[in-house]
Amino acid sequence: MDASTFTVSDRAAARISQILKGENEASVLRVSVEGGGCSGFQYRFEIERGATPEDLVIEHPGATVVIDPVSLQYLAGSKLDFVDDLIGAAFQVVNPNATASCGCGTSFAL
């Protein structure tokens, strides 16, 4: 899998690094897509201990993001960002494949 199919912003990498400092040294942030949410699919973010051999691994200093091959089909060309505004702070996936999304940005339709 080509790492250029999914990118991680510097802001997201910095926040991931902060989160992973309190975790096991081999911990990673898994980004995945699952059915559900108000628009049909939803993004899921989990801290896990390492990647599997099938995962796409994206590394920044202090921040590692992994994506499974099935989720990558829905995330190809996307960017993970971290937004901190008046509504709150959260990871946000900018997904060019999504045809619709919910107001909170955690679910989408294709």
Q: In this structure, is residue 104 part of a structural domain? A: no
Residues in the chain: 110
Q: For residue range 74-106, list pLDDT tens digits in order.
A: 998 999 999 988 778 889 898 888 776 655 555
Alpha-carbon distance 97 to 20, whole Å? Answer: 29
Q: In this structure, is residue 7 part of a structural domain? A: yes
User: Residue 23 pLDDT more than 70?
Assistant: yes
Tokens read off for 107: 């679910």
Three-class DSSP category at 109: strand
* Strand ranges inside the chain, DSSP E: 6-8, 27-35, 41-49, 56-60, 63-67, 78-85, 88-94, 100-101, 107-109
Q: In this structure, is residue 41 part of a structural domain? A: yes
Q: What is the CA 7 to chain-centroid distance, rounded?
A: 9
CATH for 19: 2.60.300.12
Q: In this structure, is residue 110 part of a structural domain? A: no
Q: In this structure, is residue 24 part of a structural domain? A: yes
Q: How many domains does the chain have?
A: 1
Q: In this structure, is residue 106 part of a structural domain? A: no
Domain containing residue 92: 3-99
Can you give the pTM of this predicted structure?
A: 0.83
Tell me which of 36 and 47 has the higher pLDDT.
Answer: 47
